[in-house]
């Protein structure tokens, strides 16, 4: 299996929250007469492999005593795709998007495991190897939102989600969106008090916010910093 290293304790917490949400969503969906007529879809646009290894773990090695491996340990290492597929009752459709070919292959293996199960008989599970923004914007335009609803989980490493995608999702008026926003990891590091970023970093911020207004905010935060330092000195 391809080793996919990311996150830490907070990742487990995040995924547990998503799991609870998906479970509640599907419980409500299947219990409500009007909702039951609609097709519930789960979309994971930065899907990974379905598994994860905490970034802090030592490199993979064969366990010394594999028979002593706790099942709980494996549960802790489930990624969002696997967690979503295990939700009961299952969604009617699943769309997993992953740009990395090796990871997409790994996902396909995981999905095949579920496709054979009885409760997935009338369900559709798709794995698409593609760039998430481009693919999903088109998908939002083409999907029939009269007859479906979706939970969309966007869990990128950094600033890969473009504002165009957020707009396209909003225009459906039928999507519950989970977005991991890279505030500490990326935005705070770029919007420093010294100099607004330029070049590719500036472009990445503009793409993510859908405007370059952030540059005046950056200047404003520099001014605020100056005011604060004057106050501290007086």
Ligand X SMILES: C[S@@+](CC[C@H](N)C(=O)[O-])C[C@H]1O[C@@H](n2cnc3c(N)ncnc32)[C@H](O)[C@@H]1O
State the residues that interact with ligand X by CB under 6 A.
6, 15, 46-48, 52, 79-80, 97-100, 103, 131-132, 155-157, 160
Residue 55 tokens read as 């970034």
Question: Contact 79/4 with Cβ under 8 angstroms?
Answer: yes
Q: How far is the CB of 146 from ligand X (least distance, A)?
A: 28
Residue closer to ligand X by CB (options 99, 193) is: 99
Residue 94 tokens read as 């699943």
Residue closer to ligand X by CB (options 38, 130) is: 130
Residue closer to ligand X by CB (options 128, 191) is: 128
Residue closer to ligand X by CB (options 109, 228) is: 109
Residue with tokens 């600033």: 159
Closest CB to ligand X belongs to which residue?
A: 79
Q: How far is the CB of 93 from ligand X (least distance, A)?
A: 18
Q: How far is the CB of 78 from ligand X (least distance, A)?
A: 8
Q: How far is the CB of 171 from ligand X (least distance, A)?
A: 20
CA dist list (Å): 75 to 53, 57, 126, 231, 232: 11, 16, 23, 52, 50
Bridge partners (DSSP) listed for residue 148: 39
CA atoms within 13 A on the CB side of 173: 1
């Amino acid at each position: 299996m391809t080793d996919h290293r990311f996150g830490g304790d907070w990742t487990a917490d995040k995924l547990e929250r998503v799991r609870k949400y998906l479970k509640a969503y599907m419980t409500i969906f299947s219990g409500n007469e009007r909702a039951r007529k609609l097709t519930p879809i789960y979309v994971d646009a930065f899907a990974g492999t379905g598994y994860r290894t905490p970034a802090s773990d030592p490199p993979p090695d064969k366990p010394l005593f594999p028979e002593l491996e706790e099942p709980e340990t494996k549960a802790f290492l489930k990624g969002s795709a696997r967690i979503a597929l295990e939700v009961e009752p299952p969604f009617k459709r699943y769309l997993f998007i992953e740009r990395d070919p090796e990871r997409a292959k790994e996902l396909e293996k995981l999905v095949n495991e579920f496709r054979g199960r009885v409760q997935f008989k009338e369900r559709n599970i798709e794995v698409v190897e593609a760039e998430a923004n481009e693919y999903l914007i088109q998908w939002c335009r083409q999907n029939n939102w009269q007859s479906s609803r979706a939970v969309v989980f966007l869990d990128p490493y950094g600033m890969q989600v473009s504002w165009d995608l957020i707009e396209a999702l909003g225009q459906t008026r039928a999507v519950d969106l989970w977005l991991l926003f890279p505030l500490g990891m990326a935005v705070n590091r770029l919007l420093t008090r010294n100099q607004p970023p330029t070049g590719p970093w500036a472009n990445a911020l503009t793409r993510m916010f859908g405007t370059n207004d952030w540059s005046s905010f950056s200047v404003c935060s520099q001014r605020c910093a100056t005011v604060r330092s004057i106050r501290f000195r007086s």
